[in-house]
A and B are shown apart, each in its own frame.
Chain A
């Protein structure tokens, strides 16, 4: 297909995909690393050990470099629902908008205000209050994740609404929206997955520094060495424990998906025919570019899919072909002949998501998550009882594997979103057919905007995001190479008492040493 033939809908979908996946590279790191830096800071406040302070400041800097890119790209997310998807915004306004607004009110203010206090508050506010600021900022990130996942989960599984007189969903039960089981499962899955990301970062960078310093002849007992050892151990334990929880919550989410969006799960398995017991596919291939089930061939483990879907080894799992027929019967074989569907009005509807994408994104998600767990286990084993890993392959492999959980997170979202097509709001099967709320992606795009406009924003955002990725990687690499700096060796920033002794609001210059400290830390 010629890219210039793409219509507004396709371009807007590419734009949403690119900007969202990119944004979601920052989000798990912000959440996961935020939690771990807050733990380090807490350990320093509790024990007073300088290693914890150095860790807080080293990892804190990386956290901040990444945090700001997450904030900046998050802005695009809020606006693009209105910019390119105005019909979607009109349709879901009664539910979706309030979740976004609550996210801003209850989470973003918390996050940004207290992060500013944390960055600039070293030595300026009492130690415990300063620590509490970081925890407040981290809590803000987590609350924000909750609201956004609740909003997304409502699109996957709309609850708490009835069809209003104008055909749009009308909210009747806000609590049901907040406690949507889809949201609870997805939220817990995403938060533990964020910890895998942060753990892998600590492990990869920590091992590299540890080995580098050891080879350079640094004593294994010096304080910097201890910083890296602690980082590796903390990261390894967190990553491994989080991986177990990722599997548990993923299984929960998978079982819900079999009830709520069976077609998504069957296409994740490329399970074409309904089978009982259903086999789990290990590897599948199909004719290039084909979305026909007949072209799919798969190596399988008998019965495992039945277990994943229902918890036993014999129950039938419906296949793609059968589900496609069921969907066609209920929701129509063709899009309504209505101008709001644009070029797609009256065209046949394909209810099967792009099989190659759902199948492989699902496998990459699981596979890359498993790589992280393997690396974490290796890291813990190779650093046991004061050992330092010397294996070049092991250490550089771990450094490379920092990317694995990012891929797992991104493909997880690609699977979730692409697997829901052609719906943007997928019908809730627990609701009788005539009363269901659902919305096709083809209806969601803004009328009145032209392909040129969306191309402009797609190209400019993509180029900018690409450039920012290069700069971020450059900055993080620099920070990592520099390691713990001399500025971090001061065990305590200037005491709060001396700051206050300047007297209160007397217009006196605020020129204490804390500022050196702030600047060397924040930037």
Chain B
């Protein structure tokens, strides 16, 4: 395997890791008004993702950084072509991040409620925006032979971005519910499980449709089989939720994403940005990549650094592995009283 292919795979793994990990914290945040009936429930939901959301988000930074580092031609074509959606993603991610940490800054319930809405809104906007950007990218952008977008600010957006947005949001909602079913106890666990049972079959449809379209355009036999794995994993997930096996259901749902993403990236390879104007303008990994020297250096650093990162991230999940329950005395009465 040449270095370009290796780094294409690395970028695919990073984006998939981001969608898998941040997917559940997007989902938990989006479900706050749905599953969090009482203040204590919302509190509890946020505690399940509190220690990990920031680490999850670094996957996005690393995924984007890796695109820039390994394929600047991809980065420089892709971001300006989808300028406004990416700005919306950034705005969503910014308000969401500060809301996580700032919502306890005052003991006014309205303050708390307002920031909780910001977390939900920001997460939904960010998830939808990233989905829109990925959807439009995998299904084609109007770029010319220089990699420049043709046709104005909204030229990159269309049904493909809508499909991507719906796919990421729908996947995340079920993912978040399954995560809550796994991480909490009491009534919240039951509600989360019921939500996952009801919505998991439907939640995978847009994602499968998106991967299926890319598969039909440029897939191979292997990516076709991966697509089938993704579809089967939906069935597995649903039956596992029914049997109240939350761990297995969560793993099943994760497989839906892993297999779909593998289909998407595998079927697109070696094109990273297909052009809707002319297939001759497609940006491929060979055109977009940096020199072999730089790729070699990065490969060595990543080979040493990545296992360490994975080890300590896994360890964090282990430290915070126990189920959480809401404590009745927490309801509307935070631990400390303002001086």
Contact = CB atoms under 8 A, between A and B. Distances in A.
Are A and B subunits of one complex? Answer: yes
Interface of A: 64-65, 67-69, 71-73, 75-76, 78-79, 81-84, 86-87, 89-90, 92-98, 100-106, 108-110, 112-117, 119-121, 124-125, 164, 170-172, 174, 446-450, 452-454, 456-457, 460-461, 464, 468, 471, 474-475, 478, 481-483, 485-487, 502, 505, 507-511, 515-517, 519-520, 522-523
3 tightest A-B CB contacts, nearest first: A93-B72, A523-B104, A82-B79
A471 B98 contact: yes
A485 B335 CA distance: 11
Contacts of A100: 65, 68-69
A119 B334 CA distance: 17
Interface size class of B (residues with CB under 8 A): 35 or more
Contacts of B47: 515
B65 to A, nearest CB: 4
Interface of B: 47, 50-52, 54-55, 57-58, 61-62, 64-66, 68-70, 72-73, 75-81, 83-84, 86-87, 90-91, 93-95, 97-98, 100-106, 146, 148-150, 152-153, 185-186, 290-291, 293-294, 297-298, 301-302, 305-306, 309, 312-313, 316, 319-325, 327, 334-339
Contacts of B69: 93, 97-98, 100-102
Contact of B324 (A67, A81, A101, A510): A510
Given A98-B294, A464-B94, A447 B153 contact: no
A117 B51 contact: yes
A519 B80 contact: no
A447 B79 CA distance: 12
A480 to B, nearest CB: 11
B322 A508 contact: yes
Contacts of A519: 104, 334-335
B291 A76 contact: no
B305 A105 contact: yes
Given A82-B80, A116-B52, 12 more contacts: A67-B101, A97-B72, A97-B290, A98-B294, A106-B301, A109-B55, A120-B320, A448-B80, A457-B83, A509-B323, A516-B335, A522-B104
B125 to A, nearest CB: 12
Of A78, A452, A461, the most chain B CB neighbours within 10 A belong to A78
Contacts of A509: 185-186, 322-325
A109 to B, nearest CB: 5
Contacts of A92: 72
B101 A468 contact: no
Given A119-B51, A456-B87, A507-B323, A520 B301 contact: no
A464 B95 contact: yes
The SS class assigned to the B binding surface is: helix
A478 B105 contact: yes
Given A79-B90, A121-B319, A171 B293 contact: yes
A72 B94 contact: yes
Contacts of A119: 50-51
A342 B291 CA distance: 29
A121 to B, nearest CB: 7
8 contacts: A67-B101, A75-B94, A97-B70, A97-B75, A116-B55, A170-B293, A457-B83, A507-B185
Nearest to B57: A112
A164 B58 CA distance: 32
A98 B101 contact: no
In this complex, which of B66, B76, B324 has the most chain A Cβ atoms within 10 angstroms of its Cβ?
A: B76
A78 B61 contact: yes
A208 B150 CA distance: 59
B318 to A, nearest CB: 9
A113 B36 CA distance: 26
Interface centre among A65, A174, A447, A448 (most CB of B within 10 A): A448
Nearest to A95: B294
Query: Of residues A69, A83, A452, A515, which shows the largest number of chain B Cβ atoms within 10 Å of its Cβ?
Result: A83
A512 B325 CA distance: 10
Contacts of B301: 102, 105-106
A89 B325 CA distance: 48
Question: Which of B103, B106, B312, B334 counts the most chain A CB atoms within 10 A?
Answer: B312
A449 B186 CA distance: 52
Given A112-B57, A113-B316, A83 B293 contact: no
A448 B336 contact: no
Given A68-B102, A104-B65, A116-B316, A450 B50 contact: no
A507 B83 CA distance: 46
B105 to A, nearest CB: 4
B320 A84 contact: no
B146 A447 contact: yes
A96 B290 CA distance: 11
A78 B102 CA distance: 23
Contacts of A452: 153
A520 B334 contact: yes
Contacts of A78: 61, 64-65, 68
Nearest to A458: B87
Contacts of B61: 75, 78, 104, 108
Given A457-B83, A507-B323, A511-B327, A486 B51 contact: no
Contacts of B293: 170-172, 174
A523 B106 CA distance: 9
B102 A475 contact: yes
Contacts of A102: 69, 298, 301, 305
A454 B269 CA distance: 32
